[in-house]
A and B are shown apart, each in its own frame.
Chain A
Amino acid sequence: MVARSITNLGRNGLSDWFLQRVSALVILSYIVSMLVFFAIHPHPNYQTWRSLFANLWFKVFTLLVVINLLVHSWVGLWTVFTDYVKPLLLRMVLQVAMVLLLFALLSIVLFTLFSV
Chain B
Amino acid sequence: MQIKFPVTAIISILHRISGVFLFILLPWVIYIWHCSLVSAANFNLVLTQDLHGFRAFLLWLWLSAAGMHLFAGLRHIVMDCGFAEHLAMARKTAYAMIAAAIVFSILVGIWIW
Q: Which residues of A pack against B, CB within 8 Å?
A: 21, 24-25, 28, 31, 38, 42, 46, 49-50, 53, 73, 76-77, 80, 98, 101, 105, 108-109, 112, 115-116
Contact = CB atoms under 8 A, between A and B. Distances in A.
Contacts of B100: none
Interface residues of B, number: 23
Contacts of A50: 37, 43
The binding surface of chain B is classed by DSSP as helix
Contact of A105 (B19, B27, B38): B27
A105 B26 contact: yes
Given A53-B37, A108-B30, A21 B43 contact: no
Contacts of A53: 37
A112 B26 contact: no
Interface of B: 16, 19-20, 23, 26-27, 30-31, 33-34, 36-38, 40, 43-44, 66, 70, 73-74, 77, 80, 111
Nearest to B43: A46
A76 B26 CA distance: 14
B37 A77 contact: no
A77 B23 contact: yes
A46 B19 contact: no
From A49, A98, A116, name the one whose CB has the most chain B CB atoms within 10 angstroms: A49
